[in-house]
């Protein structure tokens, strides 16, 4: 989702500005062991099981089952460990099995007081990139999330890149190495830097049972491109990740766009964004398919949402792979009006392995300012939360596999 309002971004930066100093600007190649500061928290020491595909479902926590999840893009960008613990404990208490957390945080120039994981700038590093290992504002924030997820028994989907500019998307690579949002997928220098970061993250956390899946990108698009551009990129990148870590699953993280002649040829079926869901679903090194659902942003009415859900379930059946509704939400209140029919479709008419609403919200030490306007957020303690989160999670777990 194109989620990040400027007001929320400013609040996040301002909430920690002045408390810390930006990490030193010395060149650090993240893939070189000599420059790799290990985590200071326990990772990979628990007895949890790594999830895996079982038919069109997943075996998670030692059981093949349906389940529900959520999205907390912001979790690794919090500086207060107590906030991370609070969110994960509430997610676990609601019986949500998975949450999706941004594992990217790129900048071209460090911003004092902001959380960022990687700097992409050829003037600041001979390699063009270095990792921020600062305990308060760098990769140790993600370390803590992975470690805490192990303790609370929550699994993490970790996208490694953002299509959107927020928190360091494709734009940070093109700013550093040239090119555009479409040439990124084939640009030698951008792809080398991206793979270096992927290798750093995967190697850092591949021992952890808290990792549900590595995700190539949040909502990749290549507008105006032939569909082969994204499909070839997804195929080669997922194979690269599998060469680093054969135990964890890999997903693309796309919105699920169909290609003609599917349906009526309108926006979601036109191939306009250069993504072919069914072609990508056939990639052997992608373990499952993902799709998102935001009719209000795409020019459809809410009832179309159930059609979109069933079409992706049918595609999963044809491919014989799990398919996940990994983002869905509505700005309308109460959200039950829009989301309940979609959840009923998932439960009663499909074999979708799980769904994850956008997004989980709670009262953090900084309040609710992180969530901007609060649209699309379902807060703990509300009637919407009880119905759409707690009860839906129970219903999914009770659904016979």
Q: List residues with catalytic annotation.
A: 219, 327
Report d(CA 312, CA 277) in Å as an integer. 9
Report whether 173 contacts 186 (CB < 8 A): no
Q: Which residues, in sequence order, are CB contacts of 164 under 8 Å at separation 6+?
A: 2, 3, 4, 218, 219
With tokens 């929320």, the residue in question is 8
Handedness of CA 239, 216, 223, 328 (dihedral sign): positive
Of the candidates 360, 294, 327, which has an alpha carbon nearest to the alpha carbon of residue 72? 360
Q: Where are the alpha helices (DSSP H) in 206-245?
A: 227-244
Q: Which two tokens stand for residue 256?
A: 């699920």
Beta pairing class for 155-159 and 63-65? unpaired
Q: List 357's β-bridge partners, or say none.
A: 70
Q: List 378's β-bridge partners, or say none.
A: 360
């Amino acid at each position: 989702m194109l989620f990040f309002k400027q007001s929320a971004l400013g609040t996040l930066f301002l909430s920690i500005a002045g408390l810390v100093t930006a990490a030193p600007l010395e060149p650090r190649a993240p893939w070189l062991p000599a420059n790799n500061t290990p985590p200071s928290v326990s990772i990979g020491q628990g007895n949890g099981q790594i999830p895996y595909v079982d038919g069109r479902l997943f075996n998670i926590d030692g059981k093949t089952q349906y389940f529900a999840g959520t999205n907390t893009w912001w979790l690794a960008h919090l500086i207060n460990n107590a906030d991370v613990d609070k969110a994960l404990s509430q997610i676990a208490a609601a019986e949500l099995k998975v949450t999706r957390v941004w594992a990217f945080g790129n900048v071209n120039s460090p911003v004092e007081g902001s959380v960022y994981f990687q700097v992409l700038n050829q003037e600041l590093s001979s390699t063009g990139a270095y990792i921020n290992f600062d305990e308060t504002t760098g990769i140790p924030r993600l370390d803590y999330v992975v470690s805490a997820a192990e303790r609370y028994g929550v699994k993490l989907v970790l996208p490694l890149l953002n299509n959107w500019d927020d928190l360091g998307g494709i734009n940070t690579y093109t700013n550093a190495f040239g090119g555009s949002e479409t040439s990124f997928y084939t640009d030698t220098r951008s792809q080398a830097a991206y793979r270096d970061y992927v290798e750093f993250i995967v190697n850092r956390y591949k021992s952890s049972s808290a990792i549900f899946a590595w995700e190539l990108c949040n909502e990749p698009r290549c507008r105006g491109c032939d569909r082969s551009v994204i499909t070839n990129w997804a195929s080669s990148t997922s194979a690269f990740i599998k060469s680093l870590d054969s135990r964890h699953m890999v997903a693309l993280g796309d919105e699920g766009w169909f290609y003609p002649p599917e349906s009526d040829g309108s926006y979601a079926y036109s191939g306009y964004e250069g993504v072919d869901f069914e072609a990508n679903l056939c990639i052997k090194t992608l373990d499952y398919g993902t799709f998102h659902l935001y009719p209000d942003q795409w020019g459809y009415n809410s009832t179309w949402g159930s059609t979109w859900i069933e079409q992706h379930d049918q595609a999963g059946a044809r491919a014989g792979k799990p398919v996940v509704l990994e983002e869905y939400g509505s700005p309308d209140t109460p959200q039950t009006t829009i989301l309940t029919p979609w959840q009923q479709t998932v439960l009663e008419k499909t074999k979708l392995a799980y769904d994850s609403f956008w997004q989980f919200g709670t009262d953090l030490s900084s309040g609710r300012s992180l969530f901007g306007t609060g649209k699309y957020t379902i807060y703990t303690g509300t009637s919407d939360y009880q119905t759409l989160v707690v009860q839906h999670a129970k219903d999914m777990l009770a659904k016979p596999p």
